[in-house]
Structure 1
Amino acid sequence: MYALGHIGISLVLYAPIAAWYLQNGAVEMALLGGVLMAALGVLPDIDEYTELIPHRGPTHTVWFAIAVGTVVGLTAWALTTVIGAVDPLGAAVQFGLLGSLAILGHLAGDIITPMGVWPFRPLSKWHYTFEITPAKNPAANRLFFLVGIASSCGIGTLFLLVL
């Protein structure tokens, strides 16, 4: 899956969470969470820009998802503590979970390709693939992106209609 496809998958995964935030009046959190999901949804493919990490290696594991969630959560805690937010721990947990979800969404996007993923390496050598579409399929990538945008716009539109 390419960047557009991964961003779309992240937005689809985030849409119900954004709806919950909007329903509870947390508009800023809904927007920040969406930006975070879209940005982190492509992070595992950083391995394509260095020879130090094999493609679909360590950055395509559940361990990486946990690590990213932890770093994002700690960063959120530090920032919200500095600005004097009411609930730094709550922000840390919420942003940390979103960070991990974005990475897991990336794995979901790659598991449908023939190359698949090894999400539990090095503890397990099991290879997971559904072989639905090649990663380079432009139609599939555009479709995921459009569905992600549509789900996000749909949630936003519904929110505006009920205001």
Structure 2
Amino acid sequence: MFRPGHYGVTLTLYAPVGCWLVATGDPVAAYLGGAGALWLTMSPDWDSRVPFITHRGSTHTLLFAALLGAAAWVAATLAGVGTTPFGPTDLRTFAAGVASFAVLSHLVADLLTPMGVAVFWPLTSRRYTASLVRASNRTANYLLFALGVFATAVAAYLGLSRYGGGSY
């Protein structure tokens, strides 16, 4: 997938999470979590900037999702804000979850393409794919983006309706 498709898949997958956070009284966590997920969703494609890493290789794996989550956890801890309450948990756990979520949503988008991803590397190099659409398909990318925007709007409406007691 290209950038719009990745953003769309991330928005679509995050919509229920954001809805739940808003409905339970944490709209700031919902917004910042969604913004963080969008900001980091292209992080697996950093591999195209590093000469010795192949595209859709080690950065397109569950291991990378765990490593980026761990890095976010460590960064929040070292910044001295790790145990600060945030959303349903503390800030370091929330940041780790958002970072890992961003990578996982990127992998879901790439699973839609014929090239697929080797999500279980280094245990196996087997690539998984749904082979639904080519990554370069502009129509698919923008339809996924539109779906993400729609899902986010519905989630925001439902979350605010629940949080506001129906007054929104």
Give the Å deviation of 1:151.
Answer: 1.0
Equivalences for residues 64-143 of structure 1 within 5 A? 64-79=64-79, 81=81, 85-86=84-85, 90-143=90-143
C-alpha spacing 1:105/1:134, structure 2 compared with 1 (3 Å): same
Q: Distance in 1 between matches of 2:73 and 2:147?
A: 28
Q: TM-score w.r.t. structure 2 length? A: 0.87
Runs (5+) with no aligned partner, structure 2: none
Q: Distance in 2 between matches of 1:142 and 1:156?
A: 21
Give, as a single letter, the amino acid of the residue that structure 2 aligns with 1:15. Answer: A
Instruction: Work out whether residues 18 and 30 of structure 2, in 8 Å CA contact, stay in contact via their aligned partners in 1.
Output: yes
Cα-to-partner distance string for 1:10-65 (whole Å, 9 max, x where unaligned): 11111111111101211111110010111111111112233231100111011000
Instruction: Work out whether residues 85 and 91 of structure 2, in 8 Å CA contact, stay in contact via their aligned partners in 1.
Output: no
Q: Distance in 2 between matches of 1:42 and 1:100?
A: 12
- Aligned residue for 1:13? 13
Instruction: Work out whether residues 7 and 39 of structure 1, in 8 Å CA contact, stay in contact via their aligned partners in 2.
Output: no
Q: Distance in 1 between matches of 2:112 and 2:148?
A: 17
Which has the larger displacement, 98-107 or 47-56?
47-56
C-alpha spacing 1:30/1:104, structure 2 compared with 1 (3 Å): same
Q: Distance in 2 between matches of 1:142 and 1:80?
A: 40
C-alpha spacing 1:75/1:133, structure 2 compared with 1 (3 Å): same
Q: CA RMSD in A?
A: 2.1
Q: Identity over aligned residues, as a percent? A: 34
- Aligned residue for 1:36? 36
Q: TM-score w.r.t. structure 1 length? A: 0.89
- Aligned residue for 1:58? 58
